[in-house]
């Protein structure tokens, strides 16, 4: 198992994009939702450790 950095974040190249969802709204911009997980957690099927990021652009 790889050592995680302080806060349990790990190195950027240890992360895998599971899913990206883009929503484009004509009247109010758009948004993107990203689900990511560390490689070790993906291999061990620990999906409860996945992270979600929302990027909203009005």
* pLDDT tens digits, 18-55: 999 998 877 778 999 999 999 999 999 999 999 999 99
Would you kindly state where each structural domain of the chain is located, as residue ranges? 6-57
Read off the pTM.
0.73
> Per-residue DSSP letters for the chain?
-PPPPGGG---GGGEEEEEEEEEEETTTEEEEEEEEEEHHHHHTT-GGG-EEEEEEE-
Looking at residue 5, its pLDDT comes to 47
* pLDDT tens digits, 3-13: 444 455 678 88
Pick from 51, 46, 47: which is nearest to 12 by CA? 51
């Amino acid at each position: 198992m790889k050592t995680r950095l302080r806060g349990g974040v790990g190195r950027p190249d240890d992360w895998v994009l599971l899913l990206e969802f883009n929503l484009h709204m004509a009247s109010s911009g758009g948004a993107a939702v990203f689900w990511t997980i560390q490689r070790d957690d993906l291999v061990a099927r620990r999906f409860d450790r996945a992270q979600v990021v929302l990027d909203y652009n009005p």
